Amino acid sequence: MNTLKISFAVLKKPTSYFFGGNSVISLKSLTPPSSVKPASISGGPRVYSTFAGTGVRTDFKVNSYSNMAEPDSDHKQGDVAVKDDRIAHISSTIRVIPDFPKPGIMFQDITTMLLDPVAFKDSIDLFVERYKDKDISVVAGVEARGFIFGPPIALAIGAKFVPMRKPNKLPGAVISEEYSLEYGTDIMEMHVGAVEVGERTLVIDDLIATGGTLVAAINLLERVGANVVECACVIELPDLKGRDRLGDKPLFVLVSST
């Protein structure tokens, strides 16, 4: 199995970021890498790198492990490391695109994982194995990449899939939830009647960064009386502390960045 690696240098620590959904865009200019090498990174989507330290950071990688908190257990956000060889393969299929969609942004591109049927199936299987016996009746997928993972999981566990969309995308009556970004606000919508009172619900997205999008999804579902069992993502960026914003809601991730 080939492991991809990427190296880059930073002139200064970014001091300000723009958060748009799960997008993290540095407002400071970064030194673009002079050459791009394959990277060992996984999971997700609109992932834009941030830099925890000052000076030069020479690596950007993902640890292959799962945070395996059991839904409804006393350890809502458990940190038990459970190794699975499938995760390493998933990580190896995802590439990093420098300077996309703007200079200084390191974009984690999961489309290359989708080109690998084994890696894509493994990612779905890992979620299905976790939730197949949890009596979940609703899988709520967050736009847009939650739409990739949510439907096959829902079909496999016998649940319905409910899309959580941006404004003016859903026809008919909707319920809306406004949530805050670092600069401004955004809105998430769901069809009226799609989720009923008491239904056990899984919220899925590809990435958790600051946690704002998942919090909005939780609030929207709880407003209609749903029981949000857990949130699930392919990748977590723990430096951005999105997990902390979920309160007592458990979070399950396939890989966590370092």
What pLDDT score was predicted for residue 96?
Answer: 79
In a domain, 230, yes or no: yes
Closest residue by Cα to residue 88 from 124, 64, 119, 122 = 64
The answer to whether residues 233 and 246 touch, using CB atoms and an 8 Å cutoff, is: no
In a domain, 7, yes or no: no
In a domain, 12, yes or no: no
Owner of token pair 């970014």: 14
Domain count of the fold of the chain: 1
In a domain, 62, yes or no: yes
- C-alpha angle 10-26-203 in degrees, rounded to nearest 5: 125
Q: Does 145 participate in catalysis according to the annotation?
A: yes
Q: Does 196 participate in catalysis according to the annotation?
A: no
In a domain, 11, yes or no: no
In a domain, 91, yes or no: yes
Per the residue annotation, which of 57, 70, 143, 182 is the catalytic one? Answer: 182
Per the residue annotation, which of 145, 165, 200, 243 is the catalytic one? Answer: 145
Q: Which residue range(s) make up the domain with 153? A: 17-257
In a domain, 2, yes or no: no
What pLDDT score was predicted for residue 239?
Answer: 79
Strand partners, 67: 81
pLDDT in tens, 10-34: 333 333 333 334 444 333 333 333 3
Q: Which residues contact 49 (CB under 8 A, 6 or more apart)?
A: 24, 60, 105, 106
The answer to whether residues 197 and 226 touch, using CB atoms and an 8 Å cutoff, is: yes
Mean pLDDT by 10 residues, the chain (258 residues): 40 34 37 36 34 29 42 39 81 84 76 94 97 98 97 98 97 95 86 98 92 96 98 87 95 83
- C-alpha angle 56-62-65 in degrees, rounded to nearest 5: 150
CATH code for the domain of 167: 3.40.50.2020
Structure tokens at 169: 């995308």
Closest residue by Cα to residue 77 from 207, 247, 222, 256 = 247
CA-to-CA distance for 253 and 221, rounded, in angstroms?
Answer: 21
In a domain, 124, yes or no: yes
Cα atoms found within 13 Å of the Cα of residue 9, Cβ hemisphere only? 5
